[in-house]
Amino acid sequence: MSKFILDGMRVLVMEDEFLIALDVEQICRDHGAADVVIVSNIEALGPDPFAQEPFHAAVLDLMLSGKPTLDFAAQLLERAIPFVFATGHSQSENFFDKFDGIPVVGKPYSGRDLLDALASAFERTTSELGRA
């Protein structure tokens, strides 16, 4: 398993399948996350999701209640917040064209797969910030 730990982090989980969301929450908490916020639709984040306490990482399903999360993903990218797509649409490569290098974990996935993808997202973000 990845040595990556979420110690003290606030993690956003965008997932509309209740049992998967709870599983991801438990994985994050088991690996040190201090706070895990689960939303099943984009509107649940409110008009300015970045005005609250910041998220340190995010796990996004590609589609929430039939709506794509790509615009929100672009906002995470702009703010250099590491994230992964964890989705049943992992073969829909055209969705991910503007997210080159963002890890995509296909459902069903294991906790190890998710943690490895998050570790990769953090490495990518750190590398990108180092080049800026």
pLDDT of amino acid 30: 95
Query: What pTM value is reported for the model?
Result: 0.91
CA–CA separation, 91 and 96 (whole Å): 10
pLDDT of amino acid 97: 77
pLDDT higher at 38 or 101: 38
Q: Specify the fold of 10-131.
A: Rossmann fold (3.40.50)
Reported as a single tens digit per residue, the pLDDT across 38-88 is: 999 989 988 888 888 899 999 999 999 889 999 999 999 999 999 999 988
Pairing label, strands 57-60, 35-39: unpaired
Cβ atoms of residues 33 and 10 within 8 Å:
yes
Domain boundaries, the chain: 10-131
Residue 24 tokens, joined: 């991801």
